[in-house]
Amino acid sequence: MDFELPEEMVALRELARRFAAEEIGPNAREWDREGEIPDEAIKKLGELGFMGTLVPADLGGAELGYLGNAIVIEEVARQCGGTALMLAAHNGLCQGHFMVAANDAQKKEYLPALASGGMFGAWCLTEPSCGSDAAALKTRAVLDGDEWVINGSKMFITNGAKAGVYVVTAKTSDESKTRGISAFIVERDTPGLIIGAKEDKLGMRASDTVPLTFEDVRVPKENLCGELNNGFIDALKVLERGRITIGALSVGLGRGAMEEAISYGQQREQFGKPLVEHQTLQFMLADMAMEIDAARLLVHKAALLQDAGQDTAIESSMCKLFASEIATKACMNGIQICGGYGYTKDIPIERLMRDAKLCEIGEGSSQVQRMIISRHYLDMKGVA
Ligand SMILES: Cc1cc2nc3c(=O)[nH]c(=O)nc-3n(C[C@H](O)[C@H](O)[C@H](O)COP(=O)(O)OP(=O)(O)OC[C@H]3O[C@@H](n4cnc5c(N)ncnc54)[C@H](O)[C@@H]3O)c2cc1C
């Protein structure tokens, strides 16, 4: 077991850290307020390969693997959760679904544009009436000659306002709940695709989240992505990988809270000494450091196993669950260390806290992760 990152990953971390600190951090408060990441920033993310972290080089991607992707996401999230969520949905979910299920022609048609950042991607599973029980979705696709006709609604779609392409799950058979769903590639300007207003969210405000309505949306038969009726099984594989990204995002947010709390606590004096010299606050920082390190180890373990081609359903759930919960805790304690100033927007921990809460909900809530993990160990009769 080697706990040292390979040289190229250290270099990648330095590149991502410097870029995020210089180009994202100083703007994050404004992007949070405006609810928008400017095109110029997306262009730079594309130039660095961060809009195509997981895509092979021959399709225009940076081919960084899951470890490289986790490293980039942690550094971006350290500065701005919303930008990291935009990347997570674009790379991990939309491009992730193409990598899991699309045929060669579909990959060649869409991945180069997505991986360069020239086109945004969105992934549409959740519906107004179902999130945790995603297989209960009601959107339906019916074959009519050479076209699929899609009708229904999707909810909470990250990047949905700007996307050029959407991967959309829809019911194609009533014979089975989980094996009666297929995925479709839908382009932005397809008639009948209605993009709703942006949600007014607690956090992750730089990233857009919209509802979508499909009214007789017609796509060519060839836009079926993956095997017919296997779309939900593919979606579970996408989520297995995506949860590693949310784990990394959470680590970045938790680390941000700790670093900001240390920086403030070193300046501010109470009772004649800096805040960080009071032992009660030191103990909070010690817990943060330990939990962030443990979370990162879980994330990197899942990423390395995924890069080695192994299934990581349990490792992905564990890293996402643990990292998201300790991130929220780190943010809450970070605010506590900063006192009244921590409760204002002068110190960015309040934003990190608002962003962190989403990581306990999106891509399967904490309760759903606990269901996945406990079922696995119950099946194995409890051997961990
Ligand atoms: C900012 C944001 C971005 C998102 N981006 C996307 C996206 O790009 N694409 C996409 O498809 N979806 C996206 N989502 C949707 C997200 O994945 C869902 O919100 C999430 O899966 C939870 O579903 P829900 O909101 O319908 O909650 P519900 O499923 O209604 O759950 C509500 C609560 O009940 C709990 N619960 C549910 N079932 C059980 C149970 N059996 N036992 C115990 N507790 C249970 C849940 O844990 C949760 O706490 C996004 C959501 C947000 C907020």
Question: To test the ligand 1 pocket, which listed residue (91, 126, 129) has its Cβ within 8 A of the most ligand atoms?
Answer: 126
Which residues of the chain are in CATH 1.10.540.10 domains?
Answer: 7-120
How far is Cα 288 from Cα 220, in angstroms, rounded to an integer? Answer: 51
Would you say residue 131 has pLDDT above 60?
A: yes
- The DSSP output letter for 127 is B
The verdict on the CB of residue 131 being under 6 Å from ligand 1 is yes
Higher pLDDT, 1 or 241: 241
What tens digit of pLDDT does each residue of 202-239 get? 999 999 999 999 999 999 999 999 999 999 999 999 99
State the closest ligand 1 atom to the C-alpha of 159, by its place in the atom list counted from 1.
8
What residues are paired with 183 via a beta bridge? 169, 225
203 Cβ below 6 A of ligand 1: no
pLDDT, mean of residues 260-280:
98
Tell me: pLDDT of 158 over 90: yes
Does this model's pTM top 0.95? My answer is yes
Q: Check: CATH 2.40.110.10 for 122-230?
A: yes
Q: What is the mean pLDDT of residues 307-330?
A: 98
Catalytic-labelled residue, pool 75, 260, 360, 363: 363
Which atom of ligand 1 is least distant from the CA of 126? 11
All CATH 2.40.110.10 domain ranges in the chain, comma separated: 122-230
Q: What is the pLDDT of residue 356?
A: 98
Closest CA to 323 of 281, 283, 358: 358
pLDDT at 381: 66
pLDDT at 204: 98
**What's the CATH class of domain 7-120?**
mainly alpha
Residue nearest to atom 31 of ligand 1 (CA): 132
* CATH 1.20.140.10, the chain: domain bounds: 232-379
Q: What backbone phi and psi angles, to 5 degrees, belong to 144?
A: -130, 100
CATH number, domain 232-379: 1.20.140.10
Nearest CA to ligand 1 atom 37: 132
pLDDT at residue 384 greater than cutoff 70: no
CA of 202 to the centre of ligand 1 (A): 15
> Does ligand 1 have an atom closer than 6 angstroms to the CB of 270?
no
pLDDT band at 1 (very low <50, low <70, confident <90, very high): confident
Q: How far is the CA of 132 from the centre of ligand 1 (A)?
A: 5
The two structure tokens encoding residue 105: 């022609």
Alpha helices in 202-278 (DSSP H): 231-267
Report which protein residue has its CA nearest ligand 1's atom 45.
Answer: 367
H-helix or E-strand spanning residue 148: strand 147-158
Q: pLDDT averaged over the chain? A: 97
Distance 282 CA to ligand 1 centre (A): 35
Residue 363 is a catalytic residue: yes
Categorize the per-residue pLDDT at 380 as very low, low, confident or very high, splitting at 50, 70 and 90: confident
- Is it the case that residue 382 has pLDDT exceeding 70? no
DSSP labels for 183-207? Answer: EEEEETT-TTEEE-PPP--SS-TTS
**Per-residue 3-state assignment (H helix, E strand, C coil) for 15-42:** HHHHHHHHHHHHHHHHHHHHCCCCHHHH
pLDDT band for position 383 (50/70/90)? low
Q: How far is the CA of 184 from the centre of ligand 1 (A)?
A: 22
Phi first, then psi: give them for residue 153, nearest 5 degrees.
Answer: -140, 150
Quote the CA–CA distance of 344 and 334 in Å, as a whole number: 12
Q: How remote is the CA of residue 127 from the centroid of ligand 1, in Å?
A: 10
Q: How high is the pLDDT of residue 379?
A: 86
Average pLDDT over residues 362-379: 96
